[in-house]
Amino acid sequence: AQSVSQHNHHVILSEAASLELGCNYSYGGTVNLFWYVQYPGQHLQLLLKYFSGDPLVKGIKGFEAEFIKSKFSFNLRKPSVQWSDTAEYFCAIKGRSGGYNKLIFGAGTRLAVHP
């Protein structure tokens, strides 16, 4: 079965703190992994993605994620968060249904950054 698990449902940080959001997946095929962000009242935006190659992926707004195949993980990191990073973060895996692609999302992590 294809699934994504995000361990932290709510995270509260102060500005300048470091961030790491956990994501684990279960999938037997070729892995494509994504992190999306949804700012309050806004639509889903792609933060970064991993298809192949360098397991350390850099995305927009200073975010990065590391694909660790042996741990089935794709954790999101940022060295120093800002108030504007307050948002919901979704990890997703590209699964399949028949011969077609589908995105399977984790439950999401709600991040609140206090000034």
Partner 1 sequence: DTEVTQTPKHLVMGMTNKKSLKCEQHMGHRAMYWYKQKAKKPPELMFVYSYEKLSINESVPSRFSPECPNSSLLNLHLHALQPEDSALYLCASSQEGQVKGVQETQYFGPGTRLLVL
Residues interacting with partner 1, by CB under 8 A? 32, 34, 36, 42-46, 49, 51-52, 90, 94, 96-103, 105-108, 110
Place of tokens 């970064």: 48
Cβ at position 95, least distance to partner 1 in Å: 10
Cβ at position 93, least distance to partner 1 in Å: 12
Cβ at position 103, least distance to partner 1 in Å: 6
Tell me, rounded to whole angstroms, the distance of Cα 57 from its chain centroid.
Answer: 11
- Nearest Cα to 101, choosing from 46, 45, 40, 51? 51
The alpha-helical segments, DSSP class H, found in 1-115 are: none
